A and B are shown apart, each in its own frame.
Chain A
Amino acid sequence: MSAILVVLLAGAALLGLSVWVGLALMGVGVLGLDIFKTMAVQKFLGQDVYTSLTSPELAALPLFILMGDILFHTRLAEQLFRGLAPWTTRLPGGLLHVNVLGCTMFAAASGSSAATAATIGKITSPELQRRGYDRDLSTGSLAGAAVLGLLIPPSLVLIVYGVLTKVSVLQLFAAGIVPGLLLAFCFSCYIAIRSLLARRLAPAQPGAGTGLWRRLALALNLLPILGLVVLVIGSMYAGIATPSEAAVMGVAGALAIAALQRVLTLRLIARALMSAVRTSAMIGLILAGALFLSKAMAFLAIPAQAAAAIGALDLGPFGLILVLLLFYILLGCFLDGTSMMVMTLPVTFPLVAAAGYDPVWFGIFLVLVAEMGAVTPPVGFNLFVIQDLTGERLSRIGWATMPFFLIMVAFTLFLALFPGVVLWLPGAAG
């Protein structure tokens, strides 16, 4: 057990001191191997980092980031709002549903939930505020719905999970679609119920009854994003593109949209590239550290020992998932989703697989818990984005998001009881 103790203590000390996460993980790995193993640690580190960061299956990661960064500079979100808004005015909750629908559609063109929150919220939050919608319900529904950015493919977290566990990214992407749409439906139902109970939350809109033809004409605004979705997701499921190739097509599609909207300039391309490099370097450092640490832990036999210790508790499969859910919610209050996932996977993945859960299912579970982390203070990145957009206090946004957080918890338990919801589509897709 002593190796476990050293790794845990060193990890807690370095992370608690606020050493950069990727380097902290790397340092813990080096320390553990140096103390407990007689091996050429530095040689192993060099070889491992080089191999990890040059593995071609990771190429989808920076390319999907680049696609989102290009789209951010286009008017895609305005178009989404114009196309979707007329269809929601008759629903209880009105334009609040644009948060959910907009995030759902944009999620299919974006791999990240923070970027989804920023892109959609930039348009919806001033509109909703101007029309007198309840502030808490509008910020909460935005923070909640942004989660779909990661659940609905493409998804950066699922790419990382796939690379770490050798599960097919294509299957993972397929697995996210049905739960993503169901969760969006749950969010919309909640908004509708709240609005029916208290009419003041979503004031009736003047000129709500736009005619059908007018609404259809406005829906033409949705064509660019739909085209992009078909290009990216369609090409993967038609079997004509790997995730990396789909990402290349996504970048091409994003450039085409920018060109059609006449905003495509060298300046835009340079800004999008530099911004994508910033995100890629940030994820790259964490990946390098986490991948090295996970191999170091395997050398130290830590996953096996932890599995034996937890196995002795005799939790049963559902009990294990409950414990993991609580563990990840707690961890998510302090860590970002990617770090949390890569740090814990070497131990939790074999445990969950041994309990009989499908690796594809566990990927979706992890996305959900990572996203719960993104909406729980004090460290919740979606909350930070919305704070920047609205200027509200973090604690108030946190409370406003709480109902959506609880819906996610209930939804995760539902998926644990009925894993078929997740596994049906990847099974059908082969």
Chain B
Amino acid sequence: MRIVLRLIDGYCLAGGILAALALAALFLIGAAEILLRYAFSASLPFIVEYNGYLLGIVFMAGLGYVLGRGGHIRVRVATASLPPAAATAVEAVCTLLGLLISGYLSLALLRLALGTWQIGTVSYFASQTPLYLPQGAMALASLTLTLAFLARLLRLLAGQPLEPGRPAAPEPARRALELPE
């Protein structure tokens, strides 16, 4: 089981890093477009299309990594002060439901990509990118969340800490930036 958890954690961390690289690319391509427009009145024709793909990766590839750090929002008003046994039961139900829904989503994206691949649909931009490529990437990205839930379930069963990536004592700064708006 240690190996499985390690593999999943590694996959999720890789997803998080990929999302960070995609965000950096989003900035660099945007900056290049602005510079080209003012310096040479030129434009990067693929920018709108690729911005979309990169954005999908930014949003999705980090999903599992963020779950492992306790970064996704939940409403804990009703469940915050349960006795330990009940809290564990609630956590188990939540984790199972999370696994179920995220698994359903991953399967949905995977089937979308497979369908596109079989028909051979390409994007309506000039690049004519085969759409199964970005769709497949999104499916693999969403898989980080499903696998992270699987790891969470395994940890719950083994009685291990559920969010090993969570900063032990978050400095105020860290925590604030991870807060939602």
Q: How many angstroms from the CA of A209 to the CA of B68 in the assembled complex?
A: 53
Using known A-B contacts A50-B138, A284-B63, determine if residue A277 contacts B23 with beta carbons closer than 8 Å.
Answer: yes
Is the CB of A274 closer than 8 A to any CB of chain B?
Answer: yes
CB B5 to nearest CB in A, in angstroms, measures 20
* Docked-complex contact A249 and B180, CB < 8 angstroms: no
* Docked-complex contact A62 and B58, CB < 8 angstroms: yes
- List residues 75-101 of chain B with CB under 8 A from any CB of chain A: 75-79, 90, 93-94, 97-98, 100-101
Is the CB of B175 closer than 8 A to any CB of chain A?
Answer: yes
* Docked-complex contact A27 and B109, CB < 8 angstroms: no
Q: How many angstroms from the CA of A22 to the CA of B105 in the assembled complex?
A: 12
**Partner-contacting stretch, out of A64-72, A182-190, A421-429:** A64-72
Give the chain B neighbours of A49 by CB distance below 8 A.
105, 108-109, 138, 142
B74's contact among A18, A43, A275, by CB below 8 Å, is which? A18
**Which positions in B face A, CB cutoff 8 Å?**
16-17, 19-20, 23-24, 26-27, 30-31, 33-34, 48, 51-53, 55-56, 58-63, 65-67, 69, 71-79, 90, 93-94, 97-98, 100-102, 104-105, 107-112, 115, 134-135, 138, 142, 145, 170, 172-181
22 A–B contacts from the bound complex (CB under 8 Å): A14-B97, A16-B79, A22-B73, A23-B97, A23-B98, A45-B108, A50-B56, A50-B112, A54-B138, A62-B26, A62-B59, A63-B23, A66-B27, A72-B173, A111-B181, A244-B30, A273-B24, A278-B69, A278-B178, A279-B180, A280-B62, A337-B181
Is the CB of A318 closer than 8 A to any CB of chain B?
Answer: no
* Docked-complex contact A385 and B179, CB < 8 angstroms: yes
A245's contact among B34, B53, B58, B176, by CB below 8 Å, is which? B34
Using known A-B contacts A157-B181, A282-B71, determine if residue A385 contacts B98 with beta carbons closer than 8 Å.
Answer: no
Give the chain B neighbours of A286 by CB distance below 8 A.
73, 180
CB A272 to nearest CB in B, in angstroms, measures 9
Q: How many angstroms from the CA of A273 to the CA of B105 in the assembled complex?
A: 26
Residue in B26, B71, B75, B77 with the greatest tally of chain A CB atoms within 10 Å: B75
* Docked-complex contact A69 and B177, CB < 8 angstroms: yes
Extra contacts, 15 of them, besides A20-B98, A156-B181, A385-B179 (Cβ < 8 A), are: A18-B75, A20-B72, A26-B101, A30-B104, A42-B108, A43-B112, A118-B173, A122-B172, A277-B58, A278-B178, A279-B180, A281-B59, A282-B66, A339-B73, A379-B77
Give the chain A neighbours of B33 by CB distance below 8 A.
245
Using known A-B contacts A53-B60, A388-B170, determine if residue A277 contacts B77 with beta carbons closer than 8 Å.
Answer: no
CB A329 to nearest CB in B, in angstroms, measures 15
Give the chain B neighbours of A361 by CB distance below 8 A.
none
Give the chain A neighbours of B170 by CB distance below 8 A.
388
Is the CB of A252 closer than 8 A to any CB of chain B?
Answer: yes
CB B109 to nearest CB in A, in angstroms, measures 5
* Docked-complex contact A114 and B30, CB < 8 angstroms: no
Q: How many angstroms from the CA of A281 to the CA of B19 in the assembled complex?
A: 9
What is the total of A-B residue contacts with beta carbons within 8 Å?
252
* Docked-complex contact B26 and A54, CB < 8 angstroms: no
Give the chain B neighbours of A22 by CB distance below 8 A.
72-73
* Docked-complex contact A282 and B180, CB < 8 angstroms: yes
Q: How many angstroms from the CA of A247 to the CA of B23 in the assembled complex?
A: 12
> Can you name the residue of chain B whose Cβ is closest to the Cβ of A370?
B181
Is the CB of A38 closer than 8 A to any CB of chain B?
Answer: no
- List residues 110-140 of chain A with CB under 8 A from any CB of chain B: 111-115, 117-119, 122
Give the chain B neighbours of A23 by CB distance below 8 A.
97-98, 101-102
CB B28 to nearest CB in A, in angstroms, measures 9
* Docked-complex contact B134 and A54, CB < 8 angstroms: yes
Q: How many angstroms from the CA of A66 to the CA of B177 in the assembled complex?
A: 10
Is the CB of A307 closer than 8 A to any CB of chain B?
Answer: no
CB A373 to nearest CB in B, in angstroms, measures 11
* Docked-complex contact B108 and A46, CB < 8 angstroms: yes
CB A84 to nearest CB in B, in angstroms, measures 21
Q: How many angstroms from the CA of A283 to the CA of B177 in the assembled complex?
A: 13
* Docked-complex contact B177 and A118, CB < 8 angstroms: yes
Q: How many angstroms from the CA of A274 to the CA of B21 in the assembled complex?
A: 9
Using known A-B contacts A19-B94, A42-B108, A379-B75, determine if residue A273 contacts B59 with beta carbons closer than 8 Å.
Answer: no
Give the chain A neighbours of B177 by CB distance below 8 A.
68-69, 72, 114-115, 118, 275, 278-279
Using known A-B contacts A20-B72, A54-B52, A381-B179, determine if residue A278 contacts B112 with beta carbons closer than 8 Å.
Answer: no
Q: How many angstroms from the CA of A273 to the CA of B67 in the assembled complex?
A: 17
Give the chain B neighbours of A118 by CB distance below 8 A.
172-173, 176-177
* Docked-complex contact A284 and B59, CB < 8 angstroms: yes
> Can you name the residue of chain A whose Cβ is closest to the Cβ of B144?
A281
Is the CB of A47 closer than 8 A to any CB of chain B?
Answer: yes
* Docked-complex contact B97 and A284, CB < 8 angstroms: no
* Docked-complex contact B55 and A42, CB < 8 angstroms: no
CB B86 to nearest CB in A, in angstroms, measures 12
Give the chain A neighbours of B59 by CB distance below 8 A.
53, 58, 62, 280-281, 283-285, 287-288
Is the CB of A336 closer than 8 A to any CB of chain B?
Answer: yes
CB A279 to nearest CB in B, in angstroms, measures 6
Give the chain B neighbours of A17 by CB distance below 8 A.
78-79, 90, 93-94, 97
Q: How many angstroms from the CA of A350 to the CA of B7 in the assembled complex?
A: 47
Q: How many angstroms from the CA of A255 to the CA of B144 in the assembled complex?
A: 30
CB B67 to nearest CB in A, in angstroms, measures 8
Is the CB of A270 closer than 8 A to any CB of chain B?
Answer: yes
Give the chain B neighbours of A251 by CB distance below 8 A.
27
Give the chain A neighbours of B180 by CB distance below 8 A.
114, 279, 282-283, 286, 336-339, 381
Residue in A113, A241, A280 with the greatest tally of chain B CB atoms within 10 Å: A280
Is the CB of A389 closer than 8 A to any CB of chain B?
Answer: yes
Q: How many angstroms from the CA of A63 to the CA of B75 in the assembled complex?
A: 27
